[in-house]
């Protein structure tokens, strides 16, 4: 069995150089402002084609994280409609650079909404988006009205998505910090997520600064947070998918996190 690929979330100007600085062949990054509706921006010198060529030449796999503000589940038209547009724009840009996947958060509905409306909005969003590369829905840490925090809501999203045309291009990204902070027991997280989705396509490996079911999305370097070391390593091993460390710091800190995972049997 081949070794699981481990990489990191990096600054977007030159992702290939960032990968090489960390001694890895896998990086994730934003395209533009993660908090803005302006649309994707490719900061690599030479643009999308040059970045794609450089990554291919270096043997580096690229993953793109959609902006945090994307919320295709909401019943608020002023957020949902721009979110769908933004999702398509980032999908197109990610495809142009040859990315292996586009990661997007599960979003949320309003407190007074029936979650079923949010689930159906996910179905509509999948059908409205040309999925040129895999779209990976990520579990999130906080919010009582979140659609990808707790397992029952993840199941609702997944059931709705599976009814959509284009569902075969939708995968799942499991974030370890989000699972812990969102109230999902780590010991059975992979088993329970797979029972819902049938797949885990990417792991966001993050320790958590805050406690179980705290709802706080605060990542920590490995061994410096609250995750049980044995359970944390096991979840990454069991998932068996490529790993992105979204932990604080630069190349040195990320190399230490990679080493921690290898030392713990990943």
CATH (domain of 137) = 3.20.20.150
| Residue 224 placed within a domain | no
Tell me what pLDDT residue 2 has.
72
Tell me what pLDDT residue 144 has.
87
What percent of the chain lies above the pLDDT cut of 70?
100
Range of the structural domain that residue 83 is part of:
6-52+62-176+185-206+239-249
Tell me what pLDDT residue 1 has.
54
Q: Are 130 and 91 in contact (CB under 8 A)?
A: yes
CA neighbor of 54 nearest in space, from 34, 25, 93, 31:
25
Average the pLDDT over 126-130 and give the result: 98
Average pLDDT, the chain: 97
CA neighbor of 231 nearest in space, from 193, 183, 176, 181:
176
- Output the pTM of the full model: 0.97
Q: Indicate the number of domains in the chain.
A: 1
| Residue 220 placed within a domain | no
Average the pLDDT over 243-263 and give the result: 98
Longest dimension (CA), the chain: 51
């Amino acid at each position: 069995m081949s070794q699981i690929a481990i990489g990191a979330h990096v600054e977007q100007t030159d992702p290939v150089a960032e990968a090489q600085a960390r001694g890895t062949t896998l990086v994730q990054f934003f395209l533009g402002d993660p908090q803005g509706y302006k649309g994707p921006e490719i900061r690599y010198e030479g643009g999308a084609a040059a970045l794609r060529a450089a990554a291919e030449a270096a043997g580096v796999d690229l993953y793109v994280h959609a902006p945090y503000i994307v919320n295709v589940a909401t019943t608020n038209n002023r957020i949902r409609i721009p979110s769908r547009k933004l999702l398509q724009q980032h999908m197109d840009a990610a495809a142009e650079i040859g990315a292996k996947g586009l990661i997007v958060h599960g979003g949320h509905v309003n407190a007074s909404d029936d979650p079923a409306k949010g689930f159906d909005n996910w179905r509509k969003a999948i059908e409205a988006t040309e999925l040129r590369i895999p779209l990976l829905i990520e579990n999130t840490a906080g919010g009582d009205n979140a659609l990808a925090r707790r397992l029952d809501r993840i199941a609702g999203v997944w059931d709705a998505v599976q009814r959509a045309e284009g569902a075969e291009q939708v995968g799942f990204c499991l974030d370890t910090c989000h699972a812990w902070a969102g109230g999902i027991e780590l010991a059975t997280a992979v088993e329970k997520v797979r029972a819902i989705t049938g797949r885990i396509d990417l792991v966001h490996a993050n320790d958590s600064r805050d406690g179980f079911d705290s709802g706080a999305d605060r990542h920590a370097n490995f061994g410096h947070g609250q995750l049980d070391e044995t359970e944390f390593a096991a979840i990454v091993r069991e998932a068996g998918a490529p790993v992105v460390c979204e932990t604080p710091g630069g190349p040195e800190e990320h190399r230490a996190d990679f080493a921690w995972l290898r030392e713990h049997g990943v």
